[in-house]
Structure 1
């Protein structure tokens, strides 16, 4: 049936002057990627496909081509397919592939080396340059017709995936996850809404896209609310205070933003210039004008407020390694290996200012307006945030959640569940603090400690734990009424952790059984050695029955305790919905399906005045005190 649908539906929606390419035509040979030839273990090198996926544009004769680069594990089949988008708007998703969640990093010579925290080890992942004009995505006409509204961006993406699945039909069987960061917080909900409407318009006999979840990192989903978070967040983090001579100017800008939002009436704008002014002033007033300060330490880095940059870049030169990516694409043979014509394609640059300028969204409202219906449909939405980000900070995202109504409540309800998250290092076997997780009614918020706007850049292995939480590759521990999640570099370590716990439980059970047997034997021995009993004593057979029954009761109690402890430790799912209901179809959260009734979790765990658990370090078997925060030094909203 799939082949028939592909031939009728896709051919009806895709108009291309070029023949349809199959997966083999997009195959990328590892030998042609500089740096991979020295990797000894071939299983560490992903299977790769890349090139242009063409589809019909909006003008006569126009053909738009989106560039993609797909990675999958060479030996392990995955039933999940992740589409990844960087933001900007106008920033290439090769940022994701080569600086963040992808399998490679680029050295100063322009050669790649492996990223241990690559997401392709958990799921197939496709990095897409979009909208048109971003990265290597282009048009066959001389001038690019840049998208002006998210409605057009969404229509083009739907045409793209129609064409993609024509070339990769086997991927139609996979569960679809939309992931990305920053301005992708607009793209992803729009794309999800379009996929849902696409599926609803098809008969059951047709193949539908198996969309399961949205993973949005440091997302720009609600411009108004998030803009109003800048000043309070800056004060909270000590970046500026009321004693600053320019603080009244910041208060005035904040008030003007709020007034603009309040006076919108029925003509709500996508964003307001009054609100965009706040961050510009903050960067200006927090400059370090001391003559002793290095030029690259003058300005606050908006993507990690603990770092500094030159002014007015303020983060544009970050992260470390960004300057190496153009060198990689300029290496002889790389473009050809990725099925790109180096003579026709412009030199790669991270972000395109024209995409940003044109995408003004005169018709669309922000994606936060789409999220309630998406959640109520049963899809899982994950909003994960690096807590050192300023431009899409935790406060702004949490305020957005609290203002949003879905289901029967606004924001997180009293039934929301909170978990402290630890990550198991496969080298040291230490469980290190990673962040905290809060969940309610299909929505999960994850705060990643000591991480920036680009979490996967400076916290690579831990960032993959976000995907593991969605995919249920985690353990749940309950200690003293507190709930903890454990993810790991290597999933085998979780299995070993379970087996070790099982063996400890088994040893304890054997020891207890031996102790009970010894008691029983001693009773029998005493019975045989004792003097004859008076005739009014119970018969020996009755006394033996009482001893055996008591022993069995003790064994049963011990076995029940050990079984419950063992079973609770082995749960590979989290976040119980107290109502066991997430939508009208009784759909449960995908990563809580196997959780049994009867486990008593403290879902109202107090997280302190900040609303989150105190970060700490944990070694195997115990949770200890808070370590000093450390930052691994390592861009996207292109214009402030």
Structure 2
């Protein structure tokens, strides 16, 4: 569902972008096919426009000129009630924060206060990936937010495993061009990339904290999944950079948590094929050919015919399954229903994308959210059709993870263990590249007497955790386990082991 961008290598970056895209079935199949064609043409042209160097924070952010008056805007952003919403006890807000006045660039947010103890619980930012996919579409409305959308596309039901039982949760649509976020200077959409996204997200946060000053000194954590494996660590790096530059705590960052995350291209790619082979989705012959003939290194400039033929076969093998959850059913009908179907948070509906799309394009919903105030020329989409190019994207995030650990931040990485797109195998390979000694040996973690997944803790307090029977969108497929995971992360407590063996 992500939008295409220039790359230095067709195979590596086509895999990389397919890996990093966040699931959404409205036009995912068509987009995947167009991405493949785009990168084949780029390889033939021999052009290379993407900056793949290591991420560095944009350092010329002037806090004086980038912080704008926020008085009275919090109350203007308060949502009285969303159409079709059940009664709730917490407050929620929606609106825009300007990140560049000259360009008229503004990012849309949705914020839900905690169900209880809002004055004590931390602030948690959630980012979805893509690049180009909406945190409102997925995080808020299909994963960890307080509501899910019924099949009529008009009414909502409660998510009793919402993460605002553990924190005050902020969802951000970024970069500009994603969801309701926009720029009046449309050329900005052609300049999207990792660095611009991190800088805009940082400016957003600084201004948002002026609008909600009660959270300025609150413990702050960043979470996300998929290509947010770039966004989250890069934003954390940017926060640390500006805290040190100002010699004060501008944002009280305490840690990050990323799931099924794109963090190292080479191991992400190798791990995907090894996972698919080990789960009997692709043939051993194809997997062996890929291992022997494909070059996933950042320096690769071309691929052998044997590699291309094998990867083409893999695309045929996965065509009819939901690669984001290899055991999940596909959506059988894209039509809305006149009356809501019976729904359960514990049984994720594979057609949810369509319900959310219909709901968020309703004018009365946009009005209640304080969204689309400029009357965009395009529909709200779960993944952007506006962003056409991606100007920079590092091939690895591992150096930033080392930096965050060295600065004493809490770092957790989790994997839904039946995601085939950024699978647990990829993440394990990437963590091995960090060369961290093991602090707590691999063991199952429990919830309600059952294995919720497996975990291992490394020196420097990097925690890796799997979530059993979860696909790419972990909170969608395993809501109770995801809520337990985030509670332990925010509390800084180990995932529960057991002494009951034998």
Per the shorter chain, which TM-score range? 0.7 to 0.9
Cα distance change of structure 1 residues 141 and 354 upon mapping to structure 2, 3 Å threshold: closer
Cα distance change of structure 1 residues 190 and 474 upon mapping to structure 2, 3 Å threshold: closer
Q: Does 1:159 align with 2:180?
A: no
Q: For 1:232-263, what per-residue CA distance to the aligned partner results, in whole angstroms no more than 9, with x for missing partners? A: 21221122333xxxx35x544444433x5175
CA RMSD of aligned residues (A): 3.2
Work out which of the residue numbers 13, 20, 25 in structure 1 matches 2:66.
Answer: 13
Cα distance change of structure 1 residues 230 and 281 upon mapping to structure 2, 3 Å threshold: farther
Indicate if the aligned counterparts of 2:488 and 2:494 stay in contact, CA closer than 8 A.
no
Distance 2:427 2:63 in 1: 38
Name the counterpart of 2:384: 352
1:23 positional shift: 1.4
Work out which of the residue numbers 409, 421, 437 in structure 2 matches 1:391.
Answer: 421
Indicate if the aligned counterparts of 1:228 and 1:257 stay in contact, CA closer than 8 A.
no
Name the counterpart of 1:22: 73
Work out which of the residue numbers 434, 453, 456 in structure 2 matches 1:435.
Answer: 453
Name the counterpart of 1:72: 113
Distance 2:465 2:495 in 1: 16
Q: Which runs of 5+ in 1 are unaligned?
A: 1-8, 288-297, 311-316, 405-409, 425-430, 478-482, 485-600, 602-621, 625-640
Report the TM-score, using the length of structure 2 for normalisation: 0.76
What secondary structure sits across from 1:146 in the alignment? helix
Name the counterpart of 1:416: 440
Q: Does 1:306 align with 2:324?
A: no
Work out which of the residue numbers 68, 83, 88 in structure 2 matches 1:34.
Answer: 83
1:285 positional shift: 3.9
Q: Does 1:257 align with 2:291?
A: no
Distance 1:106 1:223 in 2: 34
Work out which of the residue numbers 304, 325, 334 in structure 1 matches 2:356.
Answer: 325
Indicate if the aligned counterparts of 2:419 and 2:472 stay in contact, CA closer than 8 A.
yes
Distance 2:282 2:316 in 1: 9
Cα distance change of structure 1 residues 476 and 214 upon mapping to structure 2, 3 Å threshold: closer
Cα distance change of structure 1 residues 395 and 141 upon mapping to structure 2, 3 Å threshold: same
Name the counterpart of 2:183: 139
Q: Which runs of 5+ in 2 are unaligned?
A: 1-61, 332-347
Distance 1:379 1:175 in 2: 12
Distance 1:445 1:213 in 2: 14
1:231 positional shift: 2.2
Report the TM-score, using the length of structure 1 for normalisation: 0.61
| Residues 517-556 of structure 1 mapped to structure 2, 5 A cutoff | none
1:360 positional shift: 4.3
Cα distance change of structure 1 residues 276 and 220 upon mapping to structure 2, 3 Å threshold: farther
Indicate if the aligned counterparts of 2:180 and 2:372 stay in contact, CA closer than 8 A.
no
Q: Which range moves more in the overlay, 383-392 or 146-155? A: 146-155
Name the counterpart of 1:90: 132
| Residues 329-348 of structure 1 mapped to structure 2, 5 A cutoff | 329-341=360-372, 344-345=375-376, 346-348=378-380
Name the counterpart of 1:234: 276
Cα distance change of structure 1 residues 433 and 353 upon mapping to structure 2, 3 Å threshold: same
Q: Does 1:81 align with 2:123?
A: yes
Indicate if the aligned counterparts of 2:438 and 2:457 stay in contact, CA closer than 8 A.
no
Q: Does 1:189 align with 2:189?
A: no
Report how many aligned residue pairs link the two structures.
423
1:142 positional shift: 4.8
Distance 1:74 1:439 in 2: 30
Work out which of the residue numbers 198, 202, 212 in structure 2 matches 1:168.
Answer: 212
What secondary structure sits across from 2:139 in the alignment? helix
- Structure label with greater radius of gyration: 1
Work out which of the residue numbers 104, 129, 144 in structure 2 matches 1:63.
Answer: 104
Q: For 1:349-376, what per-residue CA distance to the aligned partner results, in whole angstroms no more than 9, with x for missing partners? A: 1111453x411426x4422221111111
1:443 positional shift: 0.6
